[in-house]
Amino acid sequence: MVIEVHQLTRRFGSLTAVDELSFTVQPGHVTGFLGPNGAGKTTTMRLILGLDVPTSGQALVDGRRYGDLIQPLRKVGTLLDASAVHPSRTAWQHALAIALSNGIGRRRVTEVLRLTGVDEVANRRVGGFSLGMKQRLGIAVALLGDAPTLILDEPVNGLDPEGIRWIRQFLAQLAAQGRTILVSSHVLSEMALTADHLLILGRGKLLADTSTARFLDSNARHDVLLRSPRATDLRALITARGASVTRQADGALVVTGMDAAAVGDLAAGHGIAVHALTARTASLEDAYLDLTGDSVQYRGEMTPVEGVAAS
Amino acid sequence: MISAARLPADRGTPSLAARALDVLACEWVKFWSVRSTPWTLLAALVTPVVLSDLVAFITAQSPSPAPGGPPPDPMFSSFLGLEYAVLAVCVLGVLQFSSEYSTGLIRTTFVAVPRRRAVLAAKAAVTGSVLLLAGEGVSFTSFFIVQGVLHTRHLGVSFAHPGALGAVLANGTLLLACSLFALAVGAIARHTAGGIAATIALITVPSILGLLPAPWGSRIGRFTLIDAAQQVSYLHPRPDLLSPAWSLLVLSAWPATALAVAAVRITRSQT
């Protein structure tokens, strides 16, 4: 089963939430759906699930529109908003009602509640649950139909570290069984560990569709920051050694392809003074922010700090 | 690691009837698993029985009707109590959809059952059948107690009386009509407070028009939901009111119209 999205567009008045989006989610992988808040991840998922109607384009699950699926929970397991429960129902009643709607029996309800660790509080009212416990219940409901496709919107939200690790391993297992799994998140560091394929979204547009390994390779940069009164001379020497140099607005040089020791030795060998020499490692978070930087819709006053805090 | 061969097998397509029963089972569990259901039902059952007994008792104690005036309809006090259950029933009806919209559960519901009209139909079937039973229960209980009280003054009627059984049965349908009307308004409003306010306004405000000077009062009043229900159960039809058959049609038109609007709204909009 694959999820196919063709030229999907959704406009709300003048705002284009999803902009001619096309991608395919393949079975056997955990595909991370990544993007800053407001990038259109949830809207895309809602369009796939038939909760909203696209302005143009289409989304298909197993070659069919979601709304045309019979007993859809057996084809697609979904977690959208774990807090969307009636507070006065117990976890068991909530899961049972949803199970019955697709002809799923009580035994399976007991099974998924045990699998997600909700069984001990199954007879308590959901209103008293922590966000983490609601999240587990939401995941339990997504698993009810033992579906070959899973669509999970921010499943790690509110989970404790143990819970995050559990779901990461669990999703990897489900993918290994040949299921198609689409998991959204706005936190790259989490997705780097959970997903083996990434779809990166910004302002409703697809910015990257790549394997996680390739994204890490091409984006985890190492460089050397250099300040020198004879920057121009030094730059010529470095480029002559085959490394590449860019000059920042403040006059500092950024060297890639040569480590800090080699740069220092080279300068010393030619009697050039060096005022600053710093080896830098650009984190994945930086690469992600670089990529989505122009597309962040709700930017805080101190973007870099917020970016770090989010990780 | 688990082997790749553990994907569930396709079980074939269940029949339409089986799927309809599944959605009904789901809504049945939802209906009974919220605390507001038993409480509102209790209020809807107890209030009318107590009230109609009280009215019957007062009627039995008071002096005979003014000479020349029409005798009070023997069904009147049975019906009167039921009117006071309408409020509780409206709240219960509105909540069926509005609580799902306000909690966001409606999205889970529509993801599980993308045919949204099936959800509307199942909710209407569950709520309607429970409230029909409740309404008939109240109607019969009130009838027996009230007629027992009135009998002491020889004002009562028995089931042997022509039309009495039909009147009691018709009486019980008021709660069914109100619950379905309220359920539809809840689906249209998607908001609990707004839905309840709209339902009560739509049911009670037209009744005030019944107080307009004759002949306009009864001309308009006979088309209101509550008056239509009352007319269905009158044992002594009055010339200025609709016949029981027409009243029944008016009574059904209220929830039918609201449900039709809800069916359009529920499928046309995003959630």
Tell me if A305 is assigned to some domain. Answer: no
In this structure, are residues B218 and B241 in contact, taking their beta carbons and an 8 Å threshold?
A: yes
Tell me if A272 is assigned to some domain. Answer: yes
Tell me if A308 is assigned to some domain. Answer: no
pLDDT of residue B84: 83
Tell me if A189 is assigned to some domain. Answer: yes
Tell me if A167 is assigned to some domain. Answer: yes
Angle at A14 between CA A21 and CA A12, to 5 degrees: 65
In this structure, are residues A60 and A227 in contact, taking their beta carbons and an 8 Å threshold?
A: no
Angle at B94 between CA B78 and CA A79, to 5 degrees: 145
pLDDT of residue B67: 52
Record: contact A148-B7, CB cut-off 8 A: yes
| Mean pLDDT to the nearest integer, B59-81 | 63
Tell me if B67 is assigned to some domain. Answer: no
Tell me if B3 is assigned to some domain. Answer: no
| Mean pLDDT to the nearest integer, B205-228 | 75
Tell me if A88 is assigned to some domain. Answer: no
DSSP structural state of residue A90: B
- How many contiguous H segments (helices) and E segments (strands) does chain A have? 11, 13
ipTM of model: 0.87
pLDDT of residue B71: 57
Q: Kindly state whether residues A252 and A207 are assigned to the same domain.
A: no
Q: Kindly state whether residues A7 and A71 are assigned to the same domain.
A: yes
Tell me if B236 is assigned to some domain. Answer: yes
Record: contact B104-A46, CB cut-off 8 A: no
DSSP string over B132-156 = HHHHHHHHHHHHHHHHHHHHTTT--
Q: Which positions in chain A touch B33 (Cβ < 8 Å)?
A: 86, 88-90, 93-94, 97
Number of domains in chain A: 2
Q: What is the CATH number of the domain that holds A169?
A: 3.40.50.300
Number of domains in chain B: 1
For A54, phi then psi, to 5°, come to: -70, 150
Q: Kindly state whether residues A190 and A231 are assigned to the same domain.
A: no
Record: contact B34-A86, CB cut-off 8 A: yes
Tell me if A182 is assigned to some domain. Answer: yes
Record: contact B114-A89, CB cut-off 8 A: no
Which residue is closest to B27 within chain A, CA to CA? A97
Q: Kindly state whether residues A180 and A195 are assigned to the same domain.
A: yes
Q: What is the CATH number of the domain that holds A276?
A: 3.30.70
Q: Which positions in chain B touch A46 (Cβ < 8 Å)?
A: 107, 270
Q: Kindly state whether residues A232 and A210 are assigned to the same domain.
A: no
Predicted TM-score (pTM) of this structure: 0.83
Q: Kindly state whether residues A54 and A11 are assigned to the same domain.
A: yes
The range of the structural domain enclosing residue A274 comes to 222-281
The range of the structural domain enclosing residue B258 comes to 18-62+72-268
Could you read off the pLDDT of B28-43 as tens digits, one per residue?
999 999 999 999 999 9
Record: contact A89-B34, CB cut-off 8 A: yes
Least confident piece of the model among A213-227, A295-309, B128-142, B204-218:
A295-309
CA distance A89 to chain B (A): 6
Q: Kindly state whether residues A68 and A153 are assigned to the same domain.
A: yes
pLDDT of residue B181: 97
Q: Kindly state whether residues A172 and A257 are assigned to the same domain.
A: no
Considering only CB atoms, A71 lies closest to which of B14, B27, B99, namely B14
pLDDT of residue B4: 43
Q: pLDDT truncated to tens, each residue of chain A (311 aa)?
A: 899 999 999 999 999 999 999 999 999 999 999 988 889 999 999 999 999 999 999 999 999 999 999 999 999 999 999 999 999 999 999 999 999 999 999 999 999 999 999 999 999 999 999 999 999 999 999 999 999 999 999 998 888 888 899 999 999 999 999 999 999 998 888 888 889 999 999 889 999 999 988 887 777 677 889 999 998 999 999 999 888 898 888 888 989 888 888 899 999 999 999 999 988 876 667 777 777 776 555 555 443 333 333 33
